[in-house]
Structure 1
């Protein structure tokens, strides 16, 4: 199935959809040599592969395969920020103003796919990116199903939402996922119906629903709401590097804190996550000092 869509405003397809990618070897998200974005998903519980590409005249062409193809094509405009409204975001700070000029079309998409955002967010709790991406890749290759259609090699569709609760603890261990994170995923999998209802809730209500699950805190909730609800204001409080990046970009200070970050972002309330996205795209991050955090392997523990 194929559909062509003309966005209401210019959209950077790769930058906007890139928020859904979990590492360079994500089995559910790949970019081919022609710059087309390939993404697998389960809209309505049915597997689908979607290929999204820019077409002539600013149009976007999406092609989909699998039982969930029609539902996935219906969702593509929302993935690409059709419900996003950045018009009243007019920052005066030179770094942000320059980022808007340099990166037009960077929108905040809305997927509506709760477990597909929640599970990798849980995997990323308090570990290095490499460790989290490795666990996501191993779990999808072990429990996902092959992507429908002519997808790039080794792409997989995420397991059905309820399947996460049925994965044995030793399989999480084999994937390099520590016991605290695996317990949180299993617990979330047992409350799938309640969690998937957040797509119809306001962001603050969705936050309360998510954080009612043991092991899901403010950072994980924000990461999910950014992607699932397209919340342009959900700040990832508790992130390891984000407070330093925001402080450095907006004040020149090399070290930041959650409190300072929220203070600096307050003038952009309603668009605080959007401001963070643009600052990170602009590369305004402090120079690294000291050794990187070690990548742990729970399989040897």
Structure 2
């Protein structure tokens, strides 16, 4: 729930307009409209779910709509999300076996369970960033592996390397999304079993080293237990995730920020974030995790939101070192 207003929802079944491409056997679209009680910026809310500009599970179109393909407990599903002209109502259309599951959780996905009013800015830059982006809310997908696996792929490598690995593996071992987004344009990520059966040479071709591949394999073997953590607090969920060897504080935070909408899950161990937070809040570009956490202490309970607003302020320090060296093991 955001602010003082409870979200109002309506749900209907509709025929697909004639202009929409022919659908597959998944059937007609299911539709739900959510009124969150405040502005919603879909780009800001759903943007963290996008793993690079060519993410095969995510499409943002010029008309403002966002398409997502997910592997839900009920099966694969495709969701198209659009906001009204005044950005105060959100419409979801879904296809496939997972359609009802996706629409049931549409309010959480677009931030209705988030409470932006609980955040009190303590720094001028943070206050300005919040003022300029009233539609920022924290998403909650309710899916753990969907955020965990790409976060593991992002460990200790450049973003481009991780995005490439995710794209190649999903397109090769996933399946086309149901509904009008099918046909190779949108893909559902592999099932836990499909991840477990990926041959070692395919990980290598995707540029994923043995350590990250082994972490993904250990995670999918206990996929059911990890997905159960959706019903836990973010802190308890992180503790369960970190039982899996290869999953540490950085990866668990990146996961629950998306799966749980965790407003206080700070990403520690990041190469760039401490320096950006240190610079924007205290003019200290050499800040480490300890300094970053001390600067975010006034935002206890909302530290992840504060860090996001710091990043959105656009006031980061100028780069003074070469970019992280990229190593593509798939070409070695």
Q: Indicate yes or no: 2:125 matched with 1:95.
A: yes
TM-score under structure 2 length normalisation: 0.88
**How do 1:74-113 residues align onto structure 2 when only pairs under 5 Å count?**
74-113=104-143
Higher helix content, 1 or 2: 1
CA distance in 2, matches of 1:177, 1:295: 12
Give the one of 65, 75, 89 matched to 1:46.
75
Residue 56 (structure 1) shift? 4.1
State the match for 1:34 in structure 2: 63
Give the one of 142, 150, 166 matched to 2:197.
166
User: Counterpart of 2:294 in 1: which secondary structure?
Assistant: helix
Task: Flag the 1:175–1:45 CA change in 2: closer, same or farther, 3 A.
Answer: farther
CA distance in 2, matches of 1:102, 1:21: 22
CA radius of gyration, larger in: 2
Output the aligned Cα RMSD.
1.3
Residue 300 (structure 1) shift? 2.8
Residue 88 (structure 1) shift? 2.2
State the match for 1:175 in structure 2: 206
State the match for 1:288 in structure 2: 319
Q: Deviations 1:90-123 (Å, cap 9, x if unpaired)?
A: 1131001111100112111111111110000000
Q: Runs of 4 or more off by more than 4 Å in structure 1?
A: none
TM-score under structure 1 length normalisation: 0.97
User: Counterpart of 2:97 in 1: which secondary structure?
Assistant: coil
Aligned length: 301
Residue 295 (structure 1) shift? 1.7
Q: Indicate yes or no: 2:288 matched with 1:257.
A: yes
Q: Which runs of 5+ in 1 are unaligned?
A: none
CA contact (8 A) 2:111 2:140 kept: yes
Q: Indicate yes or no: 2:289 matched with 1:230.
A: no
State the match for 1:300 in structure 2: 331
CA contact (8 A) 1:162 1:192 kept: no
Give the one of 80, 90, 110 matched to 1:60.
90
User: Counterpart of 1:213 in 2: which secondary structure?
Assistant: coil
Q: Which runs of 5+ in 2 are unaligned?
A: 1-29
State the match for 1:210 in structure 2: 241
Q: Indicate yes or no: 2:299 matched with 1:268.
A: yes
